[in-house]
């Protein structure tokens, strides 16, 4: 209780500045309200009250930011990698120093429980450290000798890049994109989500304090269809790293097409967790519950479809239900809270609409299905479990992005694989079995960019992260990130006097 009260007092103090003035843009090394001076309300999902204003960036602000990124690019690209590495490590130090502040702001802004957000800030710092350490080798290439020539390759930063991020764990996701871009030698224009503007300001301020030169990191607040669209269309931006909904991804691809932008998309998911009868069911239970109800279910890799073998279905689903009933829903700053309010009233309405859809389609709501009346007017949803569902129901096909799990039985391995793949998405998949051969067969057969066997989602930064089908294009992590933010150049040199074809002799 004391910790909760302490968090509330600290958050109130941190939010004071956003009550006094809008969450600003950061362009060419300066915090600015932008050309129009217009702003929009920022609401906290805790009670939907206004906690401040957000500068509403327009095409002019985006142009100013892109010009700044363009001018700063050559010097940043050509800076000695060891120096860039030093600056990025310093940046990580500052994130760690302010981790508590970042976590409190993020929780107030997004409704994500503080127990997860404190770790998200530290993970943000880890992203910077990892790419800082790999910065000196990012340009390395291959040597490809021929008899009379030698080819060698090297990589060079692609140019200024646009980074567009969503509102679920916005701080961590932004660092995941921006850290490799900067380490590669790119300059950045970041457009954070309109529903989670606060930690983007904090990030920009830390960039300044870390000594990142003016124009290397720019951030424009605003609406997707306004500031975001202008960024995707700007001719100075060479590549777009986008995290968000699949439908937004296709819009961005179209918007970026006239200027031939390279795109990297991390999109939605409807990820299966498959539990076979021979699995360690205690551990599977922990993972199943964690992977859908943590982060308010607003997690791209959440296991939102539980595929469970028929002969253990009743017992396993009953155990899941028992856990779900006990999940503690509450204020995101309360350290005991496991599920907080959903980010925005509009998203809350979308999630709640699936309760009716489930009933209409003939599924049962075994747990939850209602709002948390005692926590109104916040966007609180009861953790929910749908049973008696089929894979062709909307609750099994569409990304709900809330603390809502759909359980579906299967007979055997073949049926499990068919159900797992029968969705438009292909981000991640989870398999629980004691049979090693089956684990491999399923992992190889599943349409997904990432598979975890007998594990919840955990992240190793050199490993590729990304999705297939409607879940994305491209991979993040390790060298995969550098591949995206850099151009590979081949240089071919003659070793001697080889015969050159002669014309017009
Ligand atoms: P969203 O697509 O609505 O918005 C994401 C960002 O795109 C925001 O900054 C928004 O302002 C911007 N945007 C919207 N329209 C735009 C346009 N026309 N041009 C340019 N920018 C535009 O997504 P969201 O609702 O903020 O986030 C939730 C989604 O993100 C879910 O689908 C989730 O699965 C996905 N996500 C995926 C991953 C992953 O790694 N695959 C990670 C996190 C979230």
Q: Residue 1 pLDDT more than 90?
A: no
Distance 80 CA to ligand 1 centre (A): 34
Ligand 1 atom having least distance to the Cα of 222:
11
Summarised one tens digit per residue, pLDDT across range 70-129 is 999 999 999 999 999 999 999 999 999 999 999 999 999 999 999 999 998 899 999 999
pLDDT for residue 411: 98
Q: Give the Cα separation of 405 and 498 in Å (integer).
A: 67
Residue 436: Cβ-neighbour burial (10 angstroms; 0-12, 13-18, 19+): exposed
54/219 Cα distance (integer angstroms) = 13
**If you average pLDDT over every residue of the chain, what do you get?**
97
Ligand 1, atom 12: closest residue by C-alpha: 224
DSSP 324-372: HHH--B--TTSTT-SB---S-HHHHHHHHHHHHHHHHHT-EEEE--SB-
Rounded to an integer, the average pLDDT of 344-364 is 98
Residues lining ligand 1, Cβ inside 6 A: 164-168, 173, 191, 193-194, 224-225, 228-229, 232, 243-245, 248, 251-252, 255, 266-269, 300, 399, 401, 427, 467, 471-472
* Residue 66 annotated as catalytic: no
Question: Residue 433: left (phi > 0), alpha (psi -120 to 50), or beta?
Answer: beta
Residue 237's closest CA among 70, 72, 74? 70
Q: What is residue 294's predicted lDDT score, i.e. its pLDDT?
A: 98
| Residue 191 alpha carbon to ligand 1 centre in Å | 11
How far is residue 58's CA from residue 61's CA, in Å, rounded to a whole number? 5
State how far the Cα of 270 lies from the Cα of 277, in Å rounded to an integer.
Answer: 22
- pLDDT band per the 50, 70, 90 thresholds, residue 322: very high
Q: Could you report the per-residue pLDDT of 151-205, keeping only the tens digit for each? A: 999 999 999 999 999 999 999 999 999 999 999 999 999 999 999 999 999 999 9
Residue 36 has pLDDT above 90, yes or no: no
Q: How far apart are alpha carbons 110 and 121 in whole angstroms?
A: 14
pLDDT in tens, 403-414: 999 999 999 999
- Binned at pLDDT 50, 70 and 90, residue 325 comes out as very high
pLDDT value, residue 99: 97
Q: Give SS3 for 474.
A: coil
Domains of the chain: 2-267+471-489 (3.40.605.10), 272-453 (3.40.309.10)
Q: What is the mean pLDDT of residues 326-330?
A: 98
- The mean pLDDT of 306-332, rounded to a whole number, is 98
State both tokens at 326.
């006990």
Which among 300, 313, 399, 456 is annotated as catalytic?
300
Share above pLDDT 90 across residues of the chain, in percent, rounded to a whole number: 99
pLDDT in tens, 382-399: 999 999 999 999 999 999
Q: Which residue has the CA at smallest separation from atom 16 of ligand 1?
A: 224
Proportion of the chain above pLDDT 70, given as a percent: 100
Residue 467 has pLDDT above 90, yes or no: yes
Mutate-to-test residue for ligand 1 from 224, 292, 399, highest number of ligand atoms within 8 A of CB:
224
Atom 40 of ligand 1: nearest residue by CA position? 266
Output the CA angle 109-110-112, nearest 5 degrees.
Answer: 125
């Amino acid at each position: 209780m004391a910790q909760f009260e302490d968090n509330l007092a600290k958050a109130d103090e941190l939010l004071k500045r956003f009550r006094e003035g809008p969450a600003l843009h950061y362009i060419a090394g300066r915090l600015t309200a932008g050309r129009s001076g217009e702003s929009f309300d920022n609401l906290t999902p805790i009670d939907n009250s206004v906690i401040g204003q957000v500068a509403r960036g327009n095409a002019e602000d985006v142009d100013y930011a892109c010009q700044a990124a363009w001018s700063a690019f050559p010097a940043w690209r050509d800076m000695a990698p060891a120096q860039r590495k030093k600056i990025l490590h310093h940046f990580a130090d500052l994130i760690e120093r302010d981790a508590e502040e970042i976590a409190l702001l993020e929780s107030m802004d997004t409704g994500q429980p503080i127990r997860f957000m404190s770790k998200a800030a530290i993970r943000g710092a880890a992203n910077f450290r990892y790419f800082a350490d790999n910065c000196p080798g990012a340009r390395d290439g291959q040597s490809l000798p021929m008899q009379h020539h030698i080819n060698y390759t090297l990589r060079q930063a692609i140019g200024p890049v646009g980074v567009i991020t969503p509102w679920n764990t916005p701080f961590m996701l932004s660092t995941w994109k921006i850290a490799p871009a900067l380490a590669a030698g790119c300059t950045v224009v970041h457009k954070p989500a309109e529903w989670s503007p606060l930690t983007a300001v904090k990030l920009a301020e830390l960039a300044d304090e870390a000594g990142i030169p003016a124009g290397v990191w720019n951030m424009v607040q605003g609406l997707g269809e306004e500031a975001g669209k202008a960024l995707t269309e700007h001719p100075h931006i060479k590549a777009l790293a986008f995290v968000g909904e699949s439908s937004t991804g296709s819009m961005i691809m179209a918007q970026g097409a006239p200027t031939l932008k390279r795109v990297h998309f991390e999109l939605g998911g409807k990820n299966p967790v498959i539990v076979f009868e021979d699995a360690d069911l205690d551990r599977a239970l922990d993972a199943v519950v964690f992977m859908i109800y943590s982060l308010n279910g607003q997690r791209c890799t959440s296991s939102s479809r539980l595929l469970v073998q028929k002969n253990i279905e009743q017992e396993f689903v009953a155990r899941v239900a028992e856990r779900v009933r006990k999940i503690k829903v509450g204020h995101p700053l309360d350290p005991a809270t496991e599920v907080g309010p959903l980010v925005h009233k509009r998203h809350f309405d979308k999630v709640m609409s699936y309760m009716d859809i489930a009933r209409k389609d003939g599924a049962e709501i075994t747990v939850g299905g209602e709002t948390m009346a005692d926590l109104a007017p916040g966007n609180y949803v009861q953790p929910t479990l749908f049973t008696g569902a089929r894979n062709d129901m909307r609750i099994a096909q569409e990304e709900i992005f809330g603390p809502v799990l759909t359980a579906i039985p299967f007979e055997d391995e073949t049926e499990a694989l068919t159900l797992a793949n029968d969705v438009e998405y292909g981000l991640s998949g989870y398999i629980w079995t004691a049979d090693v051969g089956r684990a491999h067969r399923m992992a190889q057969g599943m349409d997904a960019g990432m598979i975890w066997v007998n594990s919840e989602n955990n992240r190793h930064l050199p490993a590729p992260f990304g999705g297939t089908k409607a879940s994305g294009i491209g991979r993040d992590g390790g060298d995969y990130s550098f591949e995206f933010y850099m151009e590979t150049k081949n240089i071919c040199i003659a070793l001697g006097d080889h015969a050159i074809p002669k014309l017009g002799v």
